[in-house]
Chain A
């Protein structure tokens, strides 16, 4: 069974602080995606990581992929309130078009 675990599940952090969300998956994957979901909304694509060692940055968020360790990270720098949301990682398994979503990390930024 394919398993995708995120750590932590819940994260409350102060504005201005840095933190990292971890995504571990159980089976070889050739690429991985990060999504954001605001309450009551659908999913918004954040990053597409297409190969081992890939690193992408957008504003205060940076995502990386280590396919050998089956690990992806989403790093938050100097958090601001607008980043409060639930974040999902989703690896894609080689030869398969469908995505398996992680457990999600609900991030709350407090003043």
Chain B
């Protein structure tokens, strides 16, 4: 079955710094999705990353804070900019599984702690 690799798997960051998370899919996908999961909470969609166009951000998320790149059909990055402790979360990359069910499969997540 398809695999998504994310890195880093975890990191501890200082307030005010930025961190880029990488997501690699082992097959070509049109769309990739970035989710945030705050401690003890559900998943919230940050943005949809489309190859060849600007990412589409959900309400409450802006490009300046979460810039996204999508240089090809298997790779995407999410940057968390100017971090504060409120950004401490798990960030998850996902993509549709092959076939037409619309099912998403997920990477292992990147657990960020901001001090």
Report which A residues bind B (CB closer than 8 A): 31, 33, 41-43, 45, 48, 50, 88, 90, 92, 97-104
Which of B11-19, B63-71, B72-80, B100-108 forms contacts with chain A? B100-108
Query: Which residues on B sit within 8 Å (CB–CB) of A43?
Result: 43, 92, 106
Contact of B96 among A50, A88, A97 (CB under 8 A): A97
Question: Is the pair A97, B48 in contact by a Cβ cutoff of 8 Å?
Answer: yes
What total of chain B residues lie within 8 Å of the partner, measured CB to CB?
A: 21
Q: Is the interface of B mostly helix, strand, loop or mixed?
A: strand
Instruction: Indicate whether B114 reaches chain A with its CB closer than 8 angstroms.
Output: no
Report which B residues bind A (CB closer than 8 A): 31, 33, 35, 41-45, 48, 92, 96-97, 101-109
State the CA gap A101–B108 with chains docked (Å).
Answer: 17
Contact of A97 among B35, B102, B106 (CB under 8 A): B102
Contact of A48 among B43, B103, B107, B109 (CB under 8 A): B103
Shortest Cβ gap from A47 to chain B (Å)? 9
Shortest Cβ gap from B97 to chain A (Å)? 8
A100-B45 in contact given A33-B103, A33-B104 (Cβ < 8 Å): yes
Query: Which residues on A sit within 8 Å (CB–CB) of B33?
Result: 98-99
A-B residue pairs in contact (CB < 8 Å), sample of 8: A42-B106, A48-B101, A50-B101, A88-B42, A88-B43, A99-B45, A102-B42, A104-B42
Query: Which residues on B sit within 8 Å (CB–CB) of A41?
Result: 108-109
Contact of B31 among A48, A92, A97 (CB under 8 A): A97
